[in-house]
Structure 1
Amino acid sequence: MTREISLLDPSGKPVRFEGKTLINAATTPWQGFALEVRAIQGDGENPACYNPHPLLAFCVRGHVKSAMTTGHRTRHTEIRSGGLCIFEQGYEVDRVTWSGHVEEMIALEIRPETLRDLMPEGHGELHLQTHLSTTDATLTSLAIAMRDEVERGCTSGRLHAQGLSMALVSYLQHRYGGAGNAKRPPGRLSQADLRKVYDWVMQHLGEDFGIDELAAELHMSAVHFTRLFRASTGATPYRYVMEQRVRHALSLLEGRLSLAEIAHAVGFSSQAHFTQVFKQLVGTTPARARLG
């Protein structure tokens, strides 16, 4: 289970986050990066602290001004709706003050244990450059997609959580990476590898498996596998698996199983999620498809 986001004082003790917690992924089945959603009102202050892991903060709705003091230098920032901050691992401040009203702030922490599961070759390290006030529509859309999935109760399963997390970290490496990030491996999967992927997916279609398990079948990290798979097929592993589930569901609709039983048989967390994905890919609902 995902742990709460970390912020520590110089002695290594946790520093309390200000504001009201709206969502905490640590209390859900979410298996991506640590995620919290908070609301902040009025003025506030934190003493000396640092983030032990790379940290992202997205202002979805609101406006806040802050001052971060380190030594004799104070950096002033202003973030409005759509803005974000990127903090490299170990970013330290002696004092932070802020003032404003933020209805929704998404915080994401890139924890090494989650990163190692996705890309073992990186040893759980992600080297980022700090940006205290910027905008990035791609990063924001990924963070909101994660928040939405957590808010729905993680109905799309491990595959979706890992896919979003890998998309996030791959984009961060490309756009904001510092020294130490590995280069992207070139190449494509062979037809034999693609056949292995298909066979494995069909054998485990009814299970809530992750991209890491699928990648392990080819002895690859999840990130490496996803890049090669997309280069080879034009689709993400998540979409590919959804397509196989819907394709198999179409054949089951000809039988006597109920829609709920079919949803379970092909690996959807609920009939509602099955219907949603089915309609996206087929253009109609399973019930209407069954009627012909």
Structure 2
Amino acid sequence: MAQRTVLIVLFEDVQSLDVTGPMEVFTGADRFAEAAGGAYRVRTASLDGGPVRSSSGLTLVPDSALAGAPEPHTLLVPGGSGTRIPDPVLVDWLREHGPRAERLVSVCTGAVLLAEAGLLDGRRATTHWAYCDSLARRHPKVTVEPDPIYVRDGNVATSAGVTAGIDLSLALVEEDLGREAALAVARHLVVFLRRPGNQAQFSAQLSVQTAAREPLREVQHWITEHPGADLSVQALAARARLSPRHFARAFQAETGTTPGRYVERVRVEHARRLLEDTADGVEEISRACGYGTPEAMRRAFLKALGTAPAEYRRRFHPAH
């Protein structure tokens, strides 16, 4: 088996987990494939070959300078506070060498460096939720998708904040070596294999604002705790002691989303947890989450996650 070189770029104030998370995945996969001659050769490099200090204070010592690094199959650019003012020399290096890689990957705000180098122009991409708006404003040629934990567009893959880099790396290992290898690495790291790329970065509660008025805030909490209940606008308005029209208008004004969309996200999230953590059947889960029928839940999953409930469960628990 031919080894693929994975080159991870280091720079001052890099996010250490953006580096070490993917490293653990690829080196773990290499150990899995050891009998077949290995699968990955993971290398790190900084501009001058010198140590860099991560944003958490951890010092990382690269294998070499970028100028002396091997030609990579996968070029991985991590994020961190060091991307806030991109190093023009590093951006120039990426602009020249990025297109040569068979696969270009970023974790978190590493997408900012790829965008500065023009490598995301005309492509779909994501980054840490806190920087999606600024990335879109600064680089209008990039189609920024703020919700997914990672986005694939051709040979370019970008991921959201920090741990999403592990999800993306596992997806790449599965693509390269198959599901068995990726599952072995995920089990060793005690992480799920694997969150779908279009899974939202946030839970339903974190994805919207908390209502300022107590009756609306209480309704938000009640929805989360009772996903299988009657969550129609009429029923929720009655709980808030408001008319349906007034409730719908006030809910959207204070949370930034409609009651229907909020309910939909809560139900999908609850169903996901039941699929992940229990052995309950799809029909039972669909009733518990207020869908009524498995087909209704299937449609909701396809819309929100791009995968059916049975496939979602299989990816988390292949034995089920």
Tell me, yes or no, whether TM beats 0.5.
no
Q: Larger RCO: Structure 1 or Structure 2 (Cα < 8 Å, ≥ 6 residues apart)?
A: 1
Q: TM-score category by the smaller chain?
A: 0.3 to 0.5
TM-score by length of 2: 0.30
Instruction: Point out the structure with the larger strand share.
Output: 1
